[in-house]
Amino acid sequence: MKVFHQISLLRDELKQARQAGKRIGFVPTMGNLHAAHIELVKKAQQTNDVVVCSIFVNGLQFNDSSDLDKYPRTLQADIDRLEVAGCDYLFNPDDAEMYPNGTEVQTRVICPTMTGVLCGAARPGHFDGVTTVVSKLFNIVQPDEAVFGLKDYQQLAVIRRMVEDLCMPICITAMETHREGDGLAMSSRNGFITATERPKVVILSQQLNGIREAVQSGREDFSQLENEAIQAIEQAGFKVDYFSICCSKTLQRVDDKTEAITVLGAMFTEGARLIDNLSFSRVR
């Protein structure tokens, strides 16, 4: 695997691959890679000739500097994992390479829909940072396909909208959430869960599954279902950020006409903010 820290050198390398007619797949990450990230790389390998993975901790999407400071950085371990997986290229720029004029005057890419709710409601500016850095990475790599995990469902929906609105010729592929044996969604933040909390954090995924079963059994009292899930999570000892039953496409509140439903939840442990979601079709 070749590692690049400079945009120009990566572009030169990928230009040769592109001229040779090779299809380029891309997996953007912030590092601290785990099995779910490697599955994204493997997915990209199935439909592309070469795969690029990026590792860049994007300060532009953190509205809490302390959260940015404690984000785990495990570059050598990440490189080892990617090499074993057979990744072709790693792009690992620093802040100066990605934002040469500084973040304060960086041109922003803003998606006006789906960004002020759910994760965006509690993290103002977060998705502006996401769409800005992802658009820059797409311009740098110019992939044919980019692969994302469904765990960050809102992020995926926003990126899809950005790609559509800006006419980017990139196929966005989503991969099912990779989970631990007990159902906990894999995340770089799981390392902040205490040993005491670990057996209980599965309450989030359990409530998502419970909502699906209830709705597909005919319940339509959506607000009550949300309140029941929130109470169950709080009784398990966690603080709820949000728990919402939404339209899968728009992330607006579900209504009587909604067919495709996504339930999204976020909760706080002592040291981590965990998110998860579950999508399903309504049974009539």
37 is catalytic: yes
Active-site residue, selected from the candidate residues 5, 37, 126, 178: 37
Interatomic CA distance for residues 40 and 53, integer angstroms: 10
β partners of residue 283: none
* Cα Dmax for the chain: 58
Report the C-alpha dihedral over residues 25, 30, 33, 34, rounded to 10 degrees.
-90
Question: 27 and 41 in contact (C-beta within 8 Å)?
Answer: yes
- List the catalytic residues: 37
